[in-house]
């Protein structure tokens, strides 16, 4: 499973009265440190929360505390072309072009294309790496030409 942090019009919005509770929950989760977290049921039954689940819970609560909407997607989940385009923040026709050029693998279900979430994430990571490299090269060029101050570059980090 992967936690996605993005806001779309169809995502639920955090109610104003929940904001304070989320902030309090975030403080508690941060302060737990190495102690074993527990879930307490309505009947008083206590269940230890595994570390992996605890980390996901912390990430989700932190993102919600920042006002971000959350979606949890299984790694092998297949998305429609519209869902994939929305995730990449591109138009559907542009996504279809990427699929047909072989940039992103897809499968056909009847006459419809489906994109595996893993493949979409891999493409997104590669795209972001290329963008960072291009920005770094541009920044270096501008520095070499004297148009850009080395001290103000965030790309050098």
Count of beta carbons in the 10 Å neighbourhood of residue 81: 18
Give CA–CA dist 43/84, Å, rounded: 42
In CATH terms, is domain 78-144 a member of 1.20.272? Answer: no
Q: How far apart are CA 117 and CA 107, in angstroms?
A: 12
Q: What percent of the chain has pLDDT over 70?
A: 81
- Residue 10 is predicted with a pLDDT of 43
Spans of all domains in the chain? 2-73, 78-144
The per-residue pLDDT for 60 is 87
Residue 1, pLDDT above cutoff 80: no
pLDDT for 8 equals 44
pLDDT at 21: 83
Q: Residue 155 — very low, low, confident or very high, per pLDDT cuts 50/70/90?
A: low
Q: Are 2 and 70 in contact (CB under 8 A)?
A: no
- Looking at every residue in the chain, the average pLDDT score rounds to 82
Q: What is the pLDDT of residues 68-115, one digit of tens each?
A: 777 777 778 899 999 999 989 999 999 999 999 999 999 999 999 999
Higher pLDDT: 3 or 131? It is: 131
Q: Does 116 score more than 80 pLDDT?
A: yes
What is residue 116's three-state secondary structure?
A: strand
Cβ–Cβ under 8 Å, residues 120 and 90: no
pLDDT at 95: 96
Q: Which band of pLDDT confidence, cut at 50, 70 and 90, is reported for residue 133?
A: very high
Q: What pLDDT is stored for residue 59 in this prediction?
A: 87
């Amino acid at each position: 499973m992967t936690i996605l942090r993005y806001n779309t019009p169809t995502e639920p919005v955090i109610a104003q009265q929940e904001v304070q509770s989320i902030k309090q929950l975030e403080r508690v989760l941060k302060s737990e440190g190495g102690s074993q977290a527990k879930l307490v049921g309505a009947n008083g039954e206590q269940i230890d929360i595994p570390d992996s689940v605890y980390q996901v819970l912390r990430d989700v609560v932190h993102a919600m505390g920042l006002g971000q909407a959350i979606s949890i997607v299984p790694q092998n989940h297949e998305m429609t072309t519209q869902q994939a385009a929305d995730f990449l923040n591109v138009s559907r026709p542009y996504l279809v072009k990427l699929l047909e050029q072989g940039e992103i693998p897809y499968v056909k279900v009847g006459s419809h294309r489906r994109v595996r979430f893993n493949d979409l994430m891999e493409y997104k990571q590669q795209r972001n790496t290329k963008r960072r490299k291009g920005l770094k090269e541009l920044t270096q060029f501008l520095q070499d030409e004297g148009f850009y101050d080395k001290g103000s570059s965030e790309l050098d980090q």
